[in-house]
Amino acid sequence: MVRRRTVVAASVSYLLLIALVAVVWPISLDSAGAREVVIGPWTGEVIVTGSIGAAIVSLAVIVFAVPARRWWWMLLGPLRAIALVATVLGGLAFSLTDEPVTPIVANGCETGYVVTERAFLFGASGSVRRLDGPIGTSVGRTEVDDGHMPFDQGSYIAVTDGYTLRVWNTFQSATERLSVASAPSFVLPRLVTDTDCGLTGGLAAEEDTPPPPRAAVEPAEGPAPSPATDARVELARMVQLTLEAAGAPVTDAAGGAVTAPAASDLACDGTTAYDLAIRTDDNASSYAAILDAWSAEGYSADRAMQEDLRYNGTVSLSARDRSTIDGMLHFSLTAECRTP
């Protein structure tokens, strides 16, 4: 009697789980990932993986609960072995399905957008989704280094401005400096006008502070470091050269014109730095032209993961072409800086 009830309960559970998979899975398949079920902290992929694993467990319960008479062993013996192995593999697959869902929070309120992130080895990527009930529609992507997940780790800034939502997120690590003075990582239409809902998430723009002094990056080969001086004039000149070398109208993420800073506007408190995110009509050609212009100025060339480096003994230049991610070319200029 007990076994019969167990078989019935496991059978009902199996049918409900398969029905759940049949409802959730086609939504993602039909849209090639552009639309995904998002329920609380779970994406459709996590729900499907967990449901399939639970369905396998239900089948295993049925197989083990059925009485095994002598001639049944010829069938139930192999089935029980298969069910046991499938249960272990299903549990392993679910444990590897790590795709946290993080609501983007601005002004203490949810914005109507979430980011689902996934890390693998030294890289991580995410999908920015607009929520319409339980369906999340992809509106952008993120890609970062070192396997960190900036939204899950809270290393992002979200600011609402009129009809737009501007978001900055870290790229190299969760401890990377973020500044609203630089171009945002992505810009989205504002969906929610509420403020001060009491939610926490990300970094507050007013808490954005300069990082500890950063030493200029020294490549394995290249010019020897120069004594620390006031490098703001050289750094500002190289920003201007970068914009001129692009060879086309240069705009920021919001479509506004981009200009170089005056040397006097740059900080000089042990280091000086300036971040630049631009786009042109032909990012690939502009990126190559900018690298050539740096080299023509006598800067030694180096290469890191998804990053081009230049160094002249005083100023370090870093370049990343992220056109396939956010449509932008990203540049970072740093130098040691001491005022007389």
- Asked whether residue 121 falls in the same domain as residue 71, the answer is no
Which of 83, 62, 49 lies closest to 10 in space, CA to CA? Answer: 62
Rounded to whole angstroms, how far apart are CA atoms 46 and 116?
Answer: 11
Residue 79 has what pLDDT? Answer: 67
Say what the pLDDT of residue 311 is: 84
Domain-embedded: residue 221:
no
Kindly state whether residue 116 falls inside one of the protein's structural domains. Answer: yes
Q: Flag whether 215 is in a domain.
A: no
Instruction: Report pTM.
Output: 0.53
Query: How many domains, in total, are found in the chain?
Result: 3
Same-domain check for residues 248 and 303: yes
Q: What is the pLDDT of residue 80?
A: 67
Judge whether 220 lies within some domain. Answer: no
Specify burial of residue 39 (Cβ count, 10 A radius: 0-12, 13-18, 19+).
Answer: middle
Whether 230 contacts 339, CB under 8 Å: yes
Note down the domain range covering 27.
Answer: 2-96
**Domain final position from 207, 223, 250:** 207
**Do 51 and 136 belong together in one domain?**
no
Do 160 and 75 share a structural domain?
no
Residue 125 and residue 90 share a domain: no
Q: Give a yes or no: residue 112 inside a domain.
A: yes
Q: How far apart are CA 76 and CA 156, in angstroms?
A: 54
Q: What is the pLDDT of residue 244?
A: 92
Same domain as 143, residue 49: no
Q: Of 172, 207, 242, which closes a domain? A: 207
Question: Does 105 share its domain with 91?
Answer: no
The pLDDT score that the predictor gives to residue 242 is 92
**Residue 163 domain flag:** yes
pLDDT in the model for residue 188: 82
> Mind listing the pLDDT tens digit of every residue in the chain (340 residues)?
667 777 777 778 878 878 887 877 777 666 556 788 888 887 777 777 777 777 777 777 777 776 666 666 666 666 667 767 767 776 666 566 677 888 999 888 888 899 888 877 676 788 888 888 888 888 888 888 777 888 888 889 888 877 788 888 888 777 777 777 777 788 888 888 777 787 878 887 654 444 444 444 444 444 444 445 788 899 999 999 999 999 878 998 888 888 999 988 888 877 888 888 899 999 999 999 999 999 899 888 887 656 788 888 788 888 888 888 778 888 888 888 887 6
Examine the fold and report which residue of 155, 172, 207 is the final residue of a domain before the chain moves on: 207
What's the pLDDT at 219? 43
- Asked whether residue 214 is domain-assigned, the answer is no
Are residues 303 and 333 both part of a single domain?
yes
Residue 213 lies in a domain: no
